[in-house]
Each structure stands twice: as C-alpha cells, then as structure tokens.
C-alpha cells in the first residue's frame, strides 16, 4: 500500500485497545463470558436502552432479530433497496419474504410514505427494517406511527449510525435506544464506527426478547435453571430433593452459534470509550468536506443533505455527481482517484439488481429514486485517522479529475 494511500474507511486502533485485548487473552475465558457481559452493559448504558446482546456480526444480529420475533414462512418484511444485502437476506434465512419500498431522494433513507403504499397492497407484513443510511437517522417518528397503525414491528438497522442521535419529544435519543422500535441492530466490522474485528449487537427494552436473544445466540441453549422446562431431566428427584443436575443444559429453540468472543468484547469495551470522540471527528471532517465543496461554487458535486436535528452517525461521506456527464463515467473517475492514492466506494447497488434477487423476484423491479441515486453516488474517504489536509487533498483531486473528464455533451449521446 502506498504511504499516502487514503482508504474510503478504516478502523482506529490504539495501544489501549491492544492492551485490553491482550489482557482478555490472558484471562481464563476466551469465548462469550464476563467481558462480553460487561460490554453489553456498557453499550446499553451508553445507548440509553435496557438491554444489549452482542453477537458474531451485524448479519447475525439481523437474523437473530428475525428468529426472536418468530418470523417465518408466509411473513413479509419491508426494507430499503439502498443498503447492504444482509437486511434483505435476514428475513429470507427464516423462509419469510422481503419487499422493498423506495427511498427518500434527499436523505436516501427508506421513505415512510413509500412504505405506507406497500402496506396498503400487502398482507402479512410483520416488520419494517429502516436503515439509518450513512449514519443519518431515519424518520423514526413516522415509522413508529406506521408500526402502531398497522400492528407490526420496527427493527432499526443502526449499523451506520452507532453514536448518532435524534430528537424525540424535545429530547436527544441515541440510535439504539429503541425509543421508536422494538429492536436495533449494529455491526462492529472494522469499517464501522467502532470495531471488534467482526461483531454485532442487538438492543431492546423488552426483557422477554432479551432473554430469548441470549439463548438464540448460542444454539437456543440455556443453562439458567430458573428457565428449565424439563424438570424430570434437569433435576434428580425434582419433587423431593430439587437437586439440580450439574451437567444439564436445555435446548429450547433451533438456532445457530452466533457468539462473540471475550477478546473481541474487550476490544469493543475499549473502542466504546472513544466512540463520542470518533463521531466528533467524523462530523468535523464531513463539515470540512461540505465547506470545501460549497467554496468550489459548482453544481456538479452534491453532498447529501442533512435534514435532521441531532448527531449524525457519519459512517459514510457520500456525494452525488452526474456521472453520465463524465468521459469514462464513474468507473474511470474511481480509477483516476485511485491513481492519486484515493480509494472511493459505491454504497449501494440496489439490492434487487443483484443476480440472486432478480431470480428471487421473477418480475423486474424498478424503484426510480434508488436507481437515480445509485447512478450518481460516490463515497469519499472518511475515517478517524484522516486529517484536514487529507480532506483538502480529496476535494482538490476530485475537482481536478472532474475538470479533465467533464463533458456535458456526452450526456446527450447516451
Ligand atoms: C447497513 C448494514 N447492515 C448490515 C450489515 C452487516 O454487518 P456485518 O458485516 O457485521 O455482518 C452491514 C455491514 O456492512 C451494513 O452496512
């Protein structure tokens, strides 16, 4: 990797993180144990939610949420086409169907009005998964209203928005507080706002769901004697002595091994302490991008608007550029930026355009705002280790490359 290479996103690990992991590696427990319990408590406290359950990754968090709600064959789940494939895949893992609704073209989040249109047409919709795209919180007040009106559940995908917050009843609430939802899921993949290498979490204020999620995370097994159902197996002479069989555990649900290790949780604990600092830095860098693009006084690079009060989770910094007015389009632009040592990315290809989804849906789907957004979007480098100088370098390189390749007449030819 070139010395001055700028990735589009990257983890921020320091000596405290390394020490925390090393100390966990020296402890008697390696898999999910006391450090995972501590991480869960600290995460829940930070988010202002009653319970957090950590797990193997953000996809597992979505799948576990489906399992906890008993989603299965015949059920339908609505989500956004502009997200990572995991949001659409999770319902399908359980035999349920996924339905897409179009995005709001300004925030790029799932549009509550489009969801309403789907709900008028479809029966058996059990849940909606709004994704806080790029870290900008969704219109949770609207989704909460819809949930009540149509008697369904909201599972927020907070993977981009850990550390972000929005205003509810004049108070700031964190994404993950479940102030307007039943469950929220997170990922701790290295490019997310904090990392555990791989990892994820689910938050909720519902005690029963919390207990079920803890079981589902580990094969559906419990070792908690208060929860045992089969007393003839769990105890020796249950009626007389109530002597607990020390080897006994009980499988109450069919599930998977989605555990997080204690040394990953140790990294999570250490990273969580820095989350607010990380979010501040991500927001500062994003504001600098905004300012520099404004100063360029041009109409061809359009950052996403921020239309809300609160703290943006700032997982991504996305701009839209009319790519059909560029010689070589977005592919050449990305290659030219890479030649300059700047990595960019596209978030996301509308999920329904993936080959597996074309086969799944049989008929051709088309969501105009999702496709228009996809054609022109580009995620620029944004990570905590970036400097203001790096941001200036990206803006100047992007502008120079656009100058070289700008060809508005190419639009007409297409
Ligand atoms: C919005 C969103 N949801 C879910 C996931 C899945 O998380 P993981 O990669 O930890 O399985 C991701 C990760 O890229 C994501 O960006």
pTM of the model: 0.97
Q: Domains plus CATH for the chain? A: 15-272 (3.40.640.10), 275-413 (3.90.1150.10)
Mean pLDDT, to the nearest integer, of 186-200? 98
- Say if residue 209's pLDDT is above 90: yes
Mean pLDDT, to the nearest integer, of 110-136? 98
Mean pLDDT, to the nearest integer, of 163-192? 97
Q: Whose CA is nearest to atom 14 of ligand 1?
A: 84
Nearest atom, ligand 1, residue 315 CA: 16
Mean pLDDT, to the nearest integer, of 147-167? 98
For residue 308, report the distance from its CA to the centre of ligand 1, in Å: 23
For residue 199, report the distance from its CA to the centre of ligand 1, in Å: 10
3-state DSSP of the chain: CCCCCECCCCCCCCHHHHHHHHHHHCCCCCCCCHHHHHHHHHHHHHHCCCEEEEECCHHHHHHHHHHHCCCCCCCEEEECCCCCCHHHHHHHHCCCEEEECCECCCCCCECHHHHHHHHHHCCCEEEEECECHHHCCCCHHHHHHHHHHHCCEEEEECCCCCCCEEEECCEEEECCCCCCCCEEEEECCCCCCCCCCCCEEEEECCHHHHHHHHHHCECCEECCHHHCCCHHHHEECCCCCCEECCCCCEECCCCCECCCCHHHHHHHHHHHCCHHHHHHHHHHHHHHHHHHHHHHCCCCCEECCCCCCEECCCCCEEEECCHHHECCHHHHHHHHHHHCCECCECCCCCHHHCHHHHHHHCCCCCCHHHHHHHHHEEEECCCCCCCHHHHHHHHHHHHHHHHHHECCHHHHHC
Q: Is the CB of 57 under 6 A from ligand 1?
A: yes
Residue among 159, 175, 316 whose CB has most ligand 1 atoms within 8 A, to mutate: 159
Nearest atom, ligand 1, residue 133 CA: 1
Q: How confident is the model at residue 306 (pLDDT cuts 50, 70, 90)?
A: confident
For residue 251, report the distance from its CA to the centre of ligand 1, in Å: 28
Q: Is the CB of 111 under 6 A from ligand 1?
A: no
Nearest atom, ligand 1, residue 191 CA: 14
Q: How confident is the model at residue 299 (pLDDT cuts 50, 70, 90)?
A: confident
- Say if residue 298's pLDDT is above 90: no
pLDDT at 414: 47
In the predicted model, what is the mean pLDDT of the chain? 96
Mean pLDDT, to the nearest integer, of 334-357? 98
- Say if residue 280's pLDDT is above 60: yes
For residue 79, report the distance from its CA to the centre of ligand 1, in Å: 14
Q: How confident is the model at residue 237 (pLDDT cuts 50, 70, 90)?
A: confident
- Say if residue 232's pLDDT is above 70: yes
């Amino acid at each position: 990797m070139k010395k001055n290479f700028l990735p589009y996103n990257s983890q921020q690990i320091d000596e405290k993180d390394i020490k925390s992991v090393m100390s966990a590696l020296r402890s008697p427990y390696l898999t999910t144990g006391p450090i995972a319990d501590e991480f869960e408590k600290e995460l829940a406290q930070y988010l202002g939610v009653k319970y957090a359950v950590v797990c193997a990754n953000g996809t597992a968090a979505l799948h576990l949420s489906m399992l906890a709600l008993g989603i299965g064959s015949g059920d339908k789940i609505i989500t956004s086409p502009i997200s990572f494939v995991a949001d659409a895949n999770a319902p399908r893992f359980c035999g349920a169907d996924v339905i897409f609704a179009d995005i709001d073209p300004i925030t790029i989040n799932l549009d509550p009005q489009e969801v309403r249109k789907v709900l008028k047409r479809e029966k058996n919709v059990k849940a909606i998964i709004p994704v806080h795209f790029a870290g900008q919180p969704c219109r949770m007040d609207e989704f909460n209203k819809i949930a009540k009106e149509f008697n369904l559940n909201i599972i927020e995908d907070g993977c981009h928005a850990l550390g972000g917050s929005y205003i509810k009843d004049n108070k700031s609430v964190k994404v993950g507080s479940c102030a307007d939802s039943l469950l929220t899921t997170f990922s701790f993949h290295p490019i997310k706002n904090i990392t555990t290498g791989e990892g994820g979490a689910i938050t909720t204020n519902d005690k029963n769901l919390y207990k079920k999620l803890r079981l589902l995370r580990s094969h559906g097994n419990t070792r908690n004697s208060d929860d045992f159902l089969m007393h003839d197996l769990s105890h020796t002479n249950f009626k007389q002595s109530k002597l607990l069989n020390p080897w006994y555990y009980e499988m109450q649900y069919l599930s998977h091994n989605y555990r997080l290790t204690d040394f990953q949780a140790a990294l999570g604990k250490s990273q969580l302490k820095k989350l607010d600092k990380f979010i501040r830095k991500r927001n500062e860098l994003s504001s600098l991008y905004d300012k520099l693009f404004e100063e360029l006084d041009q109409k061809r690079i359009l950052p996403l608007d921020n239309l809300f009060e609160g703290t943006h989770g700032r997982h991504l910094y996305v701009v839209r550029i009319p790519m059909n007015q560029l010689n070589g389009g977005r592919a050449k632009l990305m290659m030219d930026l890479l030649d300059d040592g700047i990595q960019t990315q596209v978030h996301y290809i509308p999920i329904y355009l993936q080959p597996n989804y074309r086969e799944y849906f049989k008929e051709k789907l088309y969501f105009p705002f999702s496709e228009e957004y996809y054609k022109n979007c580009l995620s620029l480098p944004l990570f905590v280790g970036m400097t203001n100088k790096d941001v200036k370098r990206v803006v100047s390189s992007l502008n120079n490359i656009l100058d070289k390749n700008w060809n508005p007449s190419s639009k007409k030819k297409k």
